[in-house]
Each structure stands twice: as structure tokens, then as C-alpha cells.
Amino acid sequence: QINSKSPLSPNSIATETAIPPARLKNSRSSITVLVQYFNHRVLIIRMEYKRSTTSMTPDQSGKVGVGMNANPLPFLTPRPERRRPDSRCADWNSSKAERDRGEVNIQVLLRCRPLSDEEQKCNVPKVITCNEHKREVSILQNVANKQVDKIFTFDKVFGPKAQQRSIYDQAIYPIVNEVLEGFNCTVFAYGQTGTGKTYTMEGGMRNKGGELPAEAGVIPRAVRQIFDTLEAQNADYSMKVTFLELYNEEIVDLLTTEDYTRSSDERQKKPISLMEDGKGCVFVRGLEEEAVYSANDIYNLLERGAAKRRTADTLLNKRSSRSHSVFTITVHVKQAAVGSEELVKYGKLNLVDLAGSENISRSGARDGRAREAGEINKSLLTLGRVINALVEHSGHVPYRDSKLTRLLRDSLGGKTKTCIIATVSPSAHCLDETLSTLDYAHRAKNIKNKPEANQKMSKAMLLKDMYLEIEKMKQDLRAAREKNGVYISHERYAQEEAEKKYMNFVVK
């Protein structure tokens, strides 16, 4: 018997279950209604229990849930609550998935140079503030007559007081170690003219005693690290270097030997061709490789090549580079023998110094200098389009629109580990160019490469390639001695013509 005040009274049941009270007066239907009511109450209790256990801490839920069924029947499972996703967990899960696929983001560093003496004399205001600890760069700009701070975040940020050694040790040192482990790596500087790209990449080469000065840049420090590491390992290795420049969309070998039978301009700048092997890899035909055996050998070649590189005096930079340069070091290191076979691993380090973007009206460039600046800006704009296409996952990436982007193809979205050093000026006069550099560099952070270690070669295969190269040189030498002038053998000519036809077919 149920009184009127009980939770199981007809009025209470009718209120909670929306069943008409008249139906509850029928004794036969009362049992059915009570069963429905009890099922309804059990469902509510289970839902409340499920909600309470999901809101507990892991320790509490672990204690309370012992011996309980964690998965109730499907029709009794409460509707899941809508919660805001944890961005940190999402980032971690996405980065884990990318690591599983072998994808890594391009590393982007930001370096801000100090104000020049002339800028300090003119009291030029600074519009950039660098926070190295937070890895942030804030830039002050006017938007609708209001001062607005725009903040960019990079992998590393180096302010005006940063030293060459600090930048190298924190950012470049690990990359060079990857080269010695058998990877291809690229480091290149990007930014407006006069912001310190060449200083960052080259700096001071060496002192009279052979020691590196404090101003030594990325290239000389990388060379010293490679030799010091290999000598400390007592490794058996070989090393070759190449040095080229891209001037007005022409590739020029900076290490070629001088031919005094030609004019001075032709003798210093011998153009060479850019080819593809049909597998997406780009190589330079006819580029001279120099074998090196010590750090001083490389320093001598760097000084020889830098002397041939085109520079000019502009209003923005007293020694403005008028071309892009690429210095490449290829290292072969012998490994311990596996059974009766000796293996050789190899890595390649590309060190790129890009010419700076230039405002022709401000730099005072005229005639030939204006054409140089136009070609530089054109190639850098193509580089920017490539970056945008890769970030937006476009179906077409315009690598072929410029020789610069063709050279950097494997470094942008390919199998190479890449580091970009973006250089900017703190001067208010360079605000537009600085914003453009920061925007491109910030977008480049989202480019993903899939680095792969180079396949190890057997020593026998490497020796075979060397013997074939020696045989080709002998044939060319024999042909040159037999004729009045410089010739190549018929076999070499036929081979090159066949390769050209194949490449033309692949391009079409």
C-alpha cells in the first residue's frame, strides 16, 4: 500500500512519468506502470553514476570503479557530453602521427641585426623587439592610426646582441651531426638586403694562425666541426666540395680553373646547365668538384670562390650580393665491415646564401644593377610562391618557375633536413620589407619534409664509380691531345646527347 506522500504514490508517478492518473487507478495496469517506473529510475541512477565517475580524478575513479562494469548496456549508455578539445593533446597526437610518417617541419630561426652607426646617428626608431626566451618577435606598426603590436613565433629567436658562436651552437651544430649520420641537410639565409645574411653564413673565415675568429659564420664553423668530429672518431673518409652562384638566372661555377685563352669575363664566369634525373632529383652538369683533405683546403676554396662572386655598392648595402650562392660539402665515411662487405655512408650539406630582396627606388639601382635587382626579386617571389603552395598543400608547386627553386626543390618539401635563417632589420625605414620577411618565414614553419638517410654504398660500388669517372677523363684527355683544341670523345658526346634527349622527353 502506498500513501499519497510516498515517492511511489500515483500522483508522484504520474508527475515523473507523464502517465495519466486515471490509468493508475486500474489495479491491473498498476503493476505494469510500476515496472516501467522502476526501469525509468534505474536508468536515471546509472546515468548519474556514469556522469559522476567520468568527472572524477584518475585516482578516485580507480578506487570507486573496482569491480564495477565500466561499459553498461548500449541502450543504457548516456549521451556523451560535449567538451572543448584539448589543443595540447591534439597537437601532440598530430605531431606523433607526423613522426610516425617520418614528417618533420622545417626549422626556422629569426635573427635581428643591430642598428648601423648611420642609423644610430640619425636616431632611426626601432620597430622590432626580440624575446629570445619566449622565441617571439614583436613588431610595432600603425593600423588605422593606432599602434598595434604584431607577434611572430619561431623555433629560435636571436636578438641584436646574439653572437655568431651562440647561433651556431644552438641551431646549426645538431644539423651538421645529422650530415655525418648520412642525411642531406640544407641551411640557407633569407631576408632583405643589408640584414646580415652573408655575415651570418660566412663572417670571418680564419685568423693568421688558422683559428676561427669570433666573427666566423656558419660555413667556416661547419667545416671545422666536420673535420674535428671525423678526426676524433679516427674515421676513414673522403670529402668533396662544390661552389656555385646563380646570377641573372644563370648558374656559374665559382671553382672552375681559369682559362687564360678566353676573355676575363668568360674566364671568371663559366655558365653550366641544370638537369633532372627523371626521379625528381636535380643536379648541375659540368660542376667542378674539388677533393679536400683539411679545413684549410676548404677555406682556400671559399676565399677563391667568394672573390669571383658578384657584389656591388648600393644605398642599402656597401657590399650587396648580386647573386645567390650554394656551397655544398659531400662526405663519404667508411663504416665497419658487415661480413666480407665494406659499407660507406655519405651525407651532403648545402649552405646557401641568398641575395637579398631589394626596393629598387630606395637602393638607387640603375641600368644593369636594376636588372640584377629585378632578377633577384623575381626568384625570391617564386620562392615565396613555392612556400605558399607547400603550406596550402596545393596540387601544383611552381618549382620550375625559377632555377633557384629547382636547386632548393629537395630542401623544400623533399627528403632533406632544412633550416632557414631569416634576417631582419630593426629600423623603421625597413618596416615593409621586415614584415614581408617575417610573414614568409612564419609560413615556412609549416612546410613538412620527409628526411631519409642516404642508402649506404658498398666500397666496391664506390670504387667502380671512381674508375668509370677516371676512364671518362682519360678519353677526354686523349681526344684533346689528338685534335687542335678542346674536344671530348665520341662516346662521351653520344652519351650526353642521349641524356639530353631523355631529359627533354621527361620534361615534355
423 is annotated as contributing to ligand binding: no
pLDDT tens digits for 227-275?
A: 999 999 988 899 999 999 888 888 888 888 765 445 545 444 555 777 7
For 164, residues 6+ apart whose C-beta sits below 8 A from its C-beta are 200, 203, 214, 215, 216, 217, 221
pLDDT at 508: 55
- Rounded CA-CA distance 451/412 in Å is 11
Inter-residue contact 212 to 224 (CB < 8 Å): yes
pLDDT at 26: 55
Q: In this structure, how many other beta carbons lie within 10 angstroms of the beta carbon of residue 209?
A: 5
Mean pLDDT computed over every residue of the chain: 75
194 is annotated as contributing to ligand binding: yes
Helix (H, G, I), strand (E, B) or coil at 91: helix
Band (pLDDT 50/70/90 cuts) for residue 400 is: confident
pLDDT tens digits for 34-78?
A: 666 666 666 666 666 656 555 444 444 333 333 334 333 333 333
195 is annotated as contributing to ligand binding: yes
pLDDT tens digits for 105-154?
A: 999 999 999 998 888 898 988 889 999 999 999 988 776 666 768 899 99
Inter-residue contact 309 to 254 (CB < 8 Å): yes
Inter-residue contact 265 to 329 (CB < 8 Å): no
| Among 188, 151, 209, residue whose Cα is nearest residue 423 | 188
SS3 sequence of 305-329: HHHHCCEECCCCCCCEECCEEEEEE
Inter-residue contact 422 to 109 (CB < 8 Å): yes
193 is annotated as contributing to ligand binding: yes
pLDDT tens digits for 193-210?
A: 888 888 899 887 777 666
147 is annotated as contributing to ligand binding: no
Averaged over 8-23, what is the pLDDT?
56
Kind and range of the H or E run holding 120: helix 117-121
- Rounded CA-CA distance 231/237 in Å is 10
Give, in order, the Cα–Cα distances in Å from 110 to each of 28, 153, 377, 440. Answer: 83, 9, 21, 12
Quick one: angle between helices 459-482 and 490-507, nearest 10? 120
Band (pLDDT 50/70/90 cuts) for residue 9 is: low
Q: Which three cell numbers stand for residue 207?
A: 685568423
Higher-confidence residue: 419 or 505?
A: 419
